[in-house]
Structure 1
């Protein structure tokens, strides 16, 4: 797997171990930083494809660095790799543009597979976290009632086929592309093609935004 990867964590021993594990799977680490400020400085020089970054760090936290790097270098995909299971950290990370949120108890194989998923445009989330996002969006949706559907939502949804909406509903509920394909009789590759078209039509970028859109449109209530 060829990608420019940067690791950011304030624990040197963890960084060394992670770099070694990734190396055994053919993934080269292009740079390492020990806090958010150093991550911003090195990202400007290295321009990595993906950054794996902790949240709780000195100087700049991972969330502070996420906001700054995403604003300045939006093409870099940043995945939070942390021990924090706090809902606030999860929701803030997604809100600030994280491309994924993984816990440090993730196995090496799972991490490598998820890095591959990021390359394909997916948003990796540790088990159980997708369900929390769904619950948060649904709670917000119910707390404020049915929000006014913007004209853009109406227009773009009108461009979706029934098949698109069917796939959108399942993906928003956390069902994998492979499982979606098995349910509706399509290959995983075809489902991915449909999702790319859905994201294009709705002007969305990732699975987290799909969940938010589906909640806003009431698709999660079905």
Structure 2
């Protein structure tokens, strides 16, 4: 007898959702599959809450990171939704799919969500999606090549950096001046300066400017 799988796919692009559905439903799998979809944080959270109280809750949830934010809850992204899936549907497998490939964003998703599957959309093909889906069901986690490369860089580095330090490096690499970093990170200018000096110490930079800091960060795979 085929096992039933209830799946929720969350993405704000209808054609992408249709592609995901066609890939999964068109495969020769030993499951009876039902797929629901949501296109924003509000509707997705309603699906999650209702599923938590149903006899057949969702087994797998596909989540895009960039979504229209909630109007009633403090849910601004797929990351927030994933945390609610972990709370309301603790047995559900979470597969993150995103265009974001910046080191600090990948690091934060791995650290806070620890998804069963993590795919960067630029890596994605129908074959890759189907392989990820099967691996998540059988032997998670599954990471696409960009995520694997990031993990490899982090492992070969001498240390890891926290989210705030990763964001400092990221925004500096995007051309944001130090005096404006507090608008992006939520720290005072003095706290940011202290963190920058600490980073220089970690990277062995006794003297140097932001470009020297970024150069060493790139060499170590943090940017």
Q: TM-score range by the shorter chain?
A: 0.5 to 0.7
Task: Give the Å deviation of 1:57.
Answer: 0.8
Question: Per-residue CA shift, 1:66-123, capped at 9, x if unaligned?
Answer: 1222123221111111211122221121112222211224111221121111112321
Preserved CA contact (<8 Å) 2:63 2:78: yes
Query: Contact conserved, 1:22 with 1:112, CA < 8 A, in 2?
Result: yes
Aligned to 1:31: 36
Instruction: Give SS of 2:136's match.
Output: helix
1:138 CA displacement: 4.5
Determine the structure 2 residue equivalent to 1:79.
95
Aligned length, in residue pairs: 144
| Alignment partners' CA distance in 1, 2:86 and 2:18 | 26
Q: Does 2:109 match 1:99?
A: no
- Structure showing the higher strand proportion among its residues: 2
Measured after TM superposition, the shift of residue 137 of structure 1 is: 4.4
Structure 2 gap ranges (5+)? 52-56, 70-75, 163-223
TM-score (ref. length: structure 2): 0.57
Distance 1:57-1:142 versus aligned 2 partners, 3 A rule: closer
Distance 1:45 1:56 in 2: 23
Q: 1:82 to 1:29 in 2, by over 3 A?
A: farther
Q: 1:129 to 1:81 in 2, by over 3 A?
A: same
Question: Does the 8 Å contact 2:95/2:118 carry over to 1?
Answer: yes
Which of residues 112, 125, 131 is equivalent to 2:149? 131
Q: 1:142 to 1:64 in 2, by over 3 A?
A: closer
Counterpart residue number, 1:16: 18
**2:142 match: secondary structure:** coil
Cα displacement (A) at 1:63 = 0.6
Q: Which residue of 2 aligns with 1:110?
A: 128
Cα distance change, pair 68–143 in 1 and its aligned pair in 2 (3 A): closer
CA distance in 2, matches of 1:83, 1:142: 23
Q: Is the 8 A contact 1:63 1:92 kept in 2?
A: no
Aligned twin of 1:154: none
Who is 1:43 aligned against? 48
Root mean square deviation, CA, Å:
2.4
What is the CA-CA distance between 1:143 and the residue it aligns to? 7.4
Give me the whole-angstrom Cα distance separating, in 2, the residues matched to 1:89 and 1:26. Answer: 34
CA-CA distance at 1:29 after TM superposition: 4.2
**1:121 aligned residue:** 139
